[in-house]
Amino acid sequence: MVDSYTPGNSIEVSTTYQVDLDADPSGDWYCVLGGSAEFDYTYFLSFSADSQTTIQPRQPQDLKSVPPDVFTYNGPGDYLRTRIWQVWDNYDLPWTYGNFPVTESYAINQNGCNIQIISSNAATNNQGRFQDRYGNIDGSSVITACAQFPACTTQATQTITVAGVSFSHGVTYGCSDVQIARQ
Amino acid sequence: MGSHMAARMCRSLGNSVIALWLSMAGLPFAQTLPLATIPSTQVDHGVFVAAGAPGVGAFASALASASIPAGFVVSSEESVLPGTAGASQDASEVCVRMAVDHFLRKHTDYAIARSDWALVVRPRAQTVCDAVLGRLLPDATISDPAYVALWRLARTVNPDGTPAAAPSVVCGSGCDAAEQHHDSHVTLTLSRSSLQEALSQVVSQAPGLVWVLRDERRAGQTGGAAVRICRLSYFDGNRSIATSYVFASVSEGRR
């Protein structure tokens, strides 16, 4: 890492390349070749810096829920909430990049309703937004435990990763609602 | 011609893969693999691509999407996200053996474990899941939807780490009402069966499911020692399903 330099000076960079070739599996032969080679380069670079910006790490509040937030409720333990998310930048402006990969995972911390939670990959739309759904898969089947334990809850940490930047918040499923809270 | 060549490749490569598996030493579990358990099924080229992707999740998800019965034990450092490596532009097919071989070459810290029911992938290093996977379960018959059968196995192995209420599966993100493989009805016959084989029976009868046990670290409560737990999740096609079922836990100071 070079923090400062004088234009015209040389910077020596050593790069290691991993060569890994896989033959086309539809071909008649299959082989994998492994190897490595080291190359030494000398780069002659010239930069001009017009401004300096400090990039702040993303915070949970940078991931915001955008209306509409649709909530369908038919009976105890039978609901489906739809929420649309968008990432906001340091200047409180929304990211509007489409087709950014969105991955999600859950860690269940307390599971009184014995809920198993589905997650899947998605991508942002052309406005930089993506949709989540919380509750019953088809909106017509109840959470089984609610018949026996009407006050049961399942608390989990949902981690949403947008273009490699992760945001975590708490999600609590109950028999009549789902609550989403900042951490 | 193409299928003939592919079949020839499967046979040839299968032998080398078997030799590789049988030659592995130092694993924390029994390491022999009957020929019959090595899938020779043809799968989409995307499975091969996923096998070479970083991490384990992409391959596990690809196998689930290809309806190959499989199970994974994942080390604590490994995340279990589906990944996006399965999107191949190549419409050709490869045999599972090739994909497995590719995976093992890219992930040298993993190996194949013996199983009569599924392709089981485990870390070479010891995990907190090892002991419980080999535990023999009481003889029984379980006849339920797959996701309920998994809960019954968890209740059998560790009732303290598994909720008493019957389970349900809900949306956590972006899911829809597409086909749910975990709803498939399974009938398990447990007769001197280990936990690993019981889990593998489930996925062998519910194509589209792949079980995952993850060695996780949990911070100790009120200043106590951290705990390593063995927690179940599974893939249903390209979707990941989280459970809270803990099959085993060990205080870090005791490992």
CB within 8 Å: B171 and A137: yes
- The partner residue sitting opposite B170, judged by closest CB among A109, A121, A143, is A143
The alpha-carbon gap from A42 to the nearest alpha carbon of chain B, in Å, equals 31
| Structure confidence at residue A2 (pLDDT) | 42
| CB-nearest partner of B170 from A130, A135, A152 | A135
Closest to B169 (Cβ–Cβ): which among A106, A116, A120?
A116
Cβ distance B240 to A26 less than 8 Å, yes or no, reads no
Contact state of A143 with B151 under an 8 Å Cβ cutoff: no
Which residue in chain A is spatially nearest to B80 when comparing CA positions?
A105
Query: Boundaries of CATH 2.60.40 in chain A?
Result: 60-182
**A37 with A14: CB under 8 angstroms?**
no
Per-residue pLDDT tens digits for B158-167: 999 999 999 9
Identify the CATH number of the domain defined by range A60-182. 2.60.40
Confidence (pLDDT) at B13: 42
Q: If contacts are CB pairs under 8 Å, which of residues 134-153 in chain A contact chain B? A: 134-138, 141-145, 148-149, 152
Q: Rounded mean pLDDT of chain B?
A: 82
Taking contacts as CB-CB distances below 8 angstroms, the residues of chain B near A121 are 81-84, 174, 238
Q: Residue B243's pLDDT is what?
A: 96
Task: Select the residue of B81, B102, B238 nearest A22 (Cβ to Cβ).
Answer: B102
Is any Cβ of chain B less than 8 angstroms from the Cβ of A159? no
Find chain A residues with C-beta within 8 A of B177's C-beta.
Answer: 137-138
- pLDDT score of B247: 96
Q: How far is B155 from chain A (nearest CA, A)?
A: 12
Query: What is the ipTM, given to two decimal places?
Result: 0.81
**Calpha distance B44→A158 (Å, rounded):** 31
pLDDT at site A183: 63
Q: Are the Cβ atoms of B169 and A113 closer than 8 angstroms?
A: no
List of chain B residues with pLDDT < 70: 1-39, 79-91, 177, 222, 253-255
Is the Cβ pair A144, B13 closer than 8 Å? no
- CB–CB of A30 and B98 under 8 A? yes
- Mean pLDDT by groups of 10 residues along chain A of 183 residues: 41 45 46 44 47 60 85 86 90 88 92 94 92 80 88 94 89 92 76
Q: Is A118 on the interface with B (CB under 8 A)?
A: yes
8 Å CB contact of B90 and A26: yes
CB contact under 8 A, B92 and A26: yes
Closest CB to B244: pick one of A28, A111, A118. Answer: A111
